[in-house]
Amino acid sequence: MPADANIWLFSYGTLRQRNVQLATFGRELEGHDDALVGFSRSMVEIKDSDVVATSGETHHPILARSGNPADEVEGTVFRITPAEVAAADSYEVSDYKRVAVTLKSGIEAFVYIRAEG
């Protein structure tokens, strides 16, 4: 994949924090508001001390497919590079998996959701 390819990442949690972006990507990301339909949001306890130190939080939001079109999660969509996808994969703990989704705007993006189920 070319370095200038458009890769979109939808974040509804700590990847929207400036300090997490600087620690994970080495830069502050620019993005815009969007939403993900058919998912519900809950919280998960983070046991990785490095991730807790980076985010400053012991519990992070996590999404699961609900299948209900009335469920909608607001967040931010960012344009990132292939190397930044790998960095985001390294940041996320094993409770999460990366999947491709279509956002409310029609943008095809990656998002991290609950790994189980």
Neighbour count for residue 88 (Cβ, 10 Å): 22
pLDDT exceeds 80 at position 111: yes
Which of 33, 41, 42, 40 shows the shortest CA–CA distance to 104? 33
Side chain identity at 22, as an amino acid letter? L
Q: What is the pLDDT of residues 25-72, one digit of tens each?
A: 999 999 999 999 999 999 999 999 999 999 999 999 999 999 999 999
Token duo for residue 37: 């339909």
CATH number at 36 reads 3.10.490.10
pLDDT value of residue 5: 65
pTM metric for this prediction:
0.91
- Range of the structural domain that residue 70 is part of: 7-114
- Per-residue model confidence as pLDDT tens digits over 43-54: 999 999 999 999
Q: How many domains does the chain have?
A: 1
Residue 1 lies in a domain: no
